Each structure stands twice: as structure tokens, then as C-alpha cells.
């Protein structure tokens, strides 16, 4: 969950109360240089009349987690891109912030820092789509065989690979939980750099993404069962949800995980870890009505039993919480993010439980926001 902060760094202390009642929305769009420095005079807000529509989307299942589309007033073609000196050229970034105005003071939360992808001029408007900085790596490949030695820190290797892919070496937050390569890791010419970095992260139960402030983040995958509830969508006078649909599916659900790897000493037995849903009261259990649904993951980079156990546990957290999904329309809330846990209460759908946000759409002008959530259930 994000804070709403004013220009002096003061956090809005009663954000829940403000967002739960009628309030004035604020959007700020700032143009940045390649090092994320604001460019003087290039702030586009609803008050200025330039930023007139748009959406920021987050999806935790996608490699490029944040995307955006924004429409800016373009009277007389003043913002039409026309070469390297143009405001909306490809070396620039857009920082989008969303918030509220309270007592004449704007309190904003970051929604993302975006690469400019496809400017499009139609009449007197300029429409810009974009994506977070992970998008820079999507078309990069190793041009020569590359190898990383045993003992190197995993976070450093991931950063090196993605920096070579064009993501940039500035603005990183790395917490690899002390993980090191248990064996040398090699990549061949034409291997995709992004796939290499993400596979390496998975092998050590890490996640890699660009956060709301534009930083690249490497961190241990979060157990959703430990996530605090940051918001409650409930009925009544202070309700902020506007509509709800609920569906049940087992198409992408797994309740049994098998992880295997190769130890550094090839004379020893193959490393393997197996875990499953064992909670006797859960319909997700392997002996329950959904049956035994096995997901297998194999990697030569898994070299210790502890590592295999950690990867198996992480996969079970993420694969066994999708049997119940809700789409919820709500009053825009710029403080919540994918990966946050929320409580939803709704009489018509017999809902009163805890869910994990998997995707959301945040409007930059009028209209409701939407989010998709998945059920969080105790697994054992």
C-alpha cells in the first residue's frame, strides 16, 4: 500500500476516511529526462487542462507489470513529437501520480514511471501509450556466450543481465536474501536476456519488477498469507465499491508441487522437493473434490535442498489461491497496488473474506476503477 504525500513530504494521516467519502481527485503527469529528473515547466495536470483522460494498469502476472495510456490536449500541435528536442521523444519518461486535494493541498501517490511507447496525434489531442522500464528488456538477447561464476550474488547477476538488456543500472532496490549461485550459470548466443533473468529469479524464489517510483526491485516472493489487509471494501454508508462479479474456476489451479534440480556434486542423488495442500478442511486439498493437480518445476540452478524447499513453498502459495476470483468496480483508490491484500464484504455474492489483488485499472480522469482479486486460503 502506498502513502498519499504532499509536496513537503507530509503523509495524509486520514487517507482511509478521505477516500471513503466524497473527495476531489487529482492527477499529475510530469515529464522526466532519462535519469528521472523532472523537466522544468513540463507538468501536465487536470487543472492545467492538458491531461484530459487516461488509465494506468497493473497486472502482477505480467513481466511488464505497469502500463499506461494517457490523452493530452494538443492545441495547435504544441506537443506533437518532432525530433529529439520534442517534449515527447523516446528518451523521456512520464511520471504519473494520482491523489486527492484536501483543504487546498494536493496529496499524491505514485502510479508509475513509464517509457514513451507510441505517441499518436488525432486532431487537437495527443495520445501516448507506455510501459514501465522492464519493457526495455523485452527484445534483448545475448550476442555472445556469457557465464556467471559459482558464488556470485543472485541479485547482482540479475541486475547485470537486465542492465545489459537496456533497463539501466540506476535506481535499483535489491534484496536477494543472501542467495548465491550454487553452480556456474551459462547462457548461449541468442538466449533472451529477460527470460534468463526471470528464470534465475524463479530458481531462488525471487521476483523482479519495476515499482511505482520507477525503481527496479529484486526481492523474495511474498507469501500472500502474511500480507496485511490494507483496505476493506464493504457495504454501508462508506462503501467504495460500485459493483462486483464473482466466478469460480479450477483451470489454472494446482494443489501439488514437485521441484527438482541438480546438486553441485553429481555423485549425489537428484535434489527434489514436494509439497501439497494438506489442510483437511480445505476443498483445495489433494484428497478433496478437485483431485490431485500437479505442477512440476525443474532447473539445473536448484542446487541445495533448502533452495528446492523454498521454491516449492513459493509455487504452492501462488498456484493454490486461484479457485475464486472477483472483479470489483470501485471509487478510485491510488494507495492500493497489485500484491496487496484486501477484505471484501458483499451480501449478494455471499462474500466476506480476504483476497489478493492480481490486477487493477486506475483512471486518470473520471469514472470508476476496477480490480481483480484472487482468494487467499490457508494451505496446510
Which pLDDT does position 84 carry in this prediction? 81
Taking a C-beta distance cutoff of 8 angstroms, is the pair 92, 143 a contact?
no
DSSP structure string for 220-274: EPP-GGGPPEEEEE-SSTT--EEEEEEEE--TT---EEEEEE--SSTTSPPEEEE
For position 251, what pLDDT does the model report? Answer: 73
In-domain check, residue 227: no
Whole-angstrom Cα distance, residue 329 to residue 74? 31
User: What does the pLDDT read at residue 82?
Assistant: 86
Whole-number Å distance between alpha carbons of 286 and 284: 6
What CATH number is associated with residue 165?
A: 3.55.50.10
The pLDDT score that the predictor gives to residue 324 is: 80
Question: Which of the listed residues 289, 319, 349 is the one where a domain comes to its end?
Answer: 319
Please give the Cα distance from 317 to 380 (Å, whole number).
11
Proportion of the chain above pLDDT 70, given as a percent: 94
Helix (H) or strand (E) holding 98: strand 93-102
> Is residue 40 domain-shared with residue 60, that is, in the same domain?
yes
Final residue before a domain boundary, out of 319, 350, 371: 319
pLDDT at residue 47, as a whole number:
58
Under 8 Å CB-to-CB from 297, ≥6 apart: which residues?
Answer: 202, 257, 258, 259, 260, 311, 312, 315
- Grid cell locating 256: 501439488
Among 279, 300, 319, the domain boundary falls at 319
Residue 142: the pLDDT is 97
Which stretches in the chain have pLDDT values below 50?
none
Structurally, the chain folds into a number of domains equal to: 3
CA atoms 230, 236, 240, 243: torsion sign? positive
Provide the 10 A C-beta neighbour count for residue 205: 20
Both 63 and 90 in one domain: the answer is yes
CB count in 10 Å sphere of residue 94: 22
Q: What is the pTM assigned to this prediction?
A: 0.85
**What are φ and ψ of residue 211, in 5° steps?**
-90, -175
- pLDDT at residue 208, as a whole number: 98
Which grid cell is 120? 499518436
- The DSSP bridge pattern shows strands 256-261 and 294-299 to be parallel
Question: Quick one: pLDDT at residue 289?
Answer: 86
Query: Is residue 40 located within the same domain as residue 127?
Result: yes
> Looking at residue 267, what is its pLDDT?
59
C-alpha angle 129/358/163, rounded to 5°?
55
Cα separation, 144 vs 164, in Å, equals 12
| Backbone dihedral region for residue 125 (phi beyond 0: left; psi -120 to 50: alpha; all else: beta) | beta
Q: What is the pLDDT of residue 376?
A: 67
Measured N-to-C along each axis, helices 193-203 and 305-319 cross at an angle, to the nearest 10 degrees, of 100
29, 101: one domain: yes
Same domain? For 54 and 99 the reply is yes
249 in a structural domain: no
Whether 20 and 127 share a structural domain? yes
Question: Domain limits at 283?
Answer: 256-319
**Interval 103-134: pLDDT, tens:** 889 999 999 999 998 889 999 999 999 999 99
Same domain, yes or no: 142 and 97? no
| Structure confidence at residue 131 (pLDDT) | 97
Residues 274, 261 contacting (CB under 8 angstroms): no
First to last CA, the chain: 27
Q: Taking the C-alpha atoms of 228, 233, 236 and 239 in order, what is their torsion angle to the nearest 10 degrees?
A: 120
Amino acid at each position: 500500500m502506498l502513502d498519499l504525500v504532499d509536496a513537503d513530504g507530509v503523509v495524509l494521516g486520514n487517507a482511509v476516511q478521505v477516500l471513503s467519502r466524497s473527495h476531489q481527485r487529482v492527477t499529475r503527469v510530469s515529464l522526466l529526462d532519462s535519469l528521472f529528473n523532472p523537466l522544468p515547466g513540463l507538468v501536465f495536470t487536470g487543472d492545467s487542462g492538458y491531461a484530459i483522460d487516461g488509465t494506468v494498469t497493473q497486472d502482477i502476472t505480467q513481466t511488464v507489470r505497469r502500463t499506461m495510456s494517457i490523452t493530452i490536449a494538443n492545441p495547435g500541435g504544441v506537443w506533437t513529437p518532432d525530433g529529439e528536442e520534442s517534449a515527447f521523444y523516446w528518451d523521456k519518461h512520464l511520471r504519473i501520480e494520482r491523489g486527492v486535494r484536501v483543504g487546498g493541498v494536493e496529496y499524491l501517490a505514485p502510479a508509475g514511471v513509464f517509457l514513451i511507447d507510441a505517441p499518436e496525434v488525432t486532431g487537437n489531442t495527443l495520445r501516448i501509450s507506455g510501459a514501465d522500464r522492464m519493457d526495455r528488456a523485452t527484445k534483448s538477447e545475448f550476442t555472445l556466450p556469457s557465464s556467471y561464476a559459482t558464488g556470485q550474488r543472485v541479485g547482482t547477476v540479475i541486475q547485470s543481465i537486465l542492465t545489459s538488456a537496456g533497463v539501466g543500472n540506476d535506481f535499483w532496490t535489491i534484496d536477494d536474501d543472501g542467495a548465491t549461485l550454487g553452480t556456474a550459470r551459462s547462457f548461449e548466443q541468442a538466449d533472451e536476456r529477460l527470460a534468463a533473468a526471470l528464470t534465475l529469479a524463479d530458481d531462488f524464489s525471487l521476483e523482479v519488477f519495476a515499482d511505482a517510483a520507477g525503481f527496479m526491485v529484486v526481492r523474495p516472493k511474498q507469501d500472500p498469507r502474511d500480507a496485511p489487509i490494507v483496505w476493506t471494501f464493504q457495504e454501508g454508508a462508506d462503501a467504495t465499491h460500485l459493483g462486483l462479479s464473482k466466478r469460480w474456476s479450477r483451470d489454472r489451479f494446482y494443489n501439488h508441487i514437485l521441484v527438482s534440480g541438480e546438486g553441485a556434486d553429481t555423485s549425489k542423488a537428484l535434489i527434489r522437493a514436494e509439497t501439497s495442500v494438506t489442510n483437511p478442511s480445505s476443498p483445495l486439498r489433494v484428497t478433496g473434490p478437485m483431485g490431485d493437480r500437479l505442477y512440476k518445476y525443474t532447473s539445473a540452478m536448484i542446487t541445495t535442498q533448502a533452495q528446492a524447499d523454498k521454491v516449492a513453498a513459493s509455487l504452492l502459495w501462488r498456484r493454490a489461491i486461484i479457485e475464486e476470483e472477483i472483479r470489483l468496480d470501485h471509487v478510485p483508490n491510488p494507495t492500493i497496488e497489485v500484491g496487496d491484500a484486501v477484505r471484501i464484504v458483499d451480501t449478494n455474492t455471499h462474500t466476506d473474506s480476504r483476497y489478493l489483488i492480481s490486477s487493477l485499472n486506475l483512471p486518470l480522469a473520471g469514472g470508476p476503477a476496477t480490480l481483480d482479486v484472487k482468494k487467499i486460503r490457508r494451505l496446510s
